[in-house]
Amino acid sequence: MFDMQNLTFFVEGNTFTGSRSQGDALLRYRVAPDKENGQLLAWRWQEDKCFERAGSPEQKEFPFDEPGLAAIQSWLASLWPEMPEEPATGE
């Protein structure tokens, strides 16, 4: 549901940003490594602005490992509003 890079991407010091939208619903997110503290830092915001211009993104810390990446995706999924099923197209 939410795109995410693999752990090696973050071990190399990279930051990942993404977003999901449908209709008026929007969720933007950013994940960055904090190697000094052994954490992955994740932020989320719902404004249609970049991270630097967002009002006050919510931040959470996760373990710097594969389960931590999975927890970030679960956290983001829990924040995403329930969306109605898209109508099936006829064949």
Say which residue the tokens 């679960």 belong to: 74
CA-to-CA distance for 84 and 32, rounded, in angstroms?
31
Predicted pLDDT at 85: 46
Could you read off the pLDDT of 30-58 as tens digits, one per residue?
Answer: 999 999 999 999 999 888 888 888 888 88
Least Cα distance to 40 among 19, 20, 59, 18 occurs for: 59
Predicted pLDDT at 86: 47
Least Cα distance to 30 among 17, 11, 45 occurs for: 17
**Tokens representing 56?**
């006050």
| pLDDT of 1 over the 70 cut | no
pTM of this prediction exceeds 0.85? no
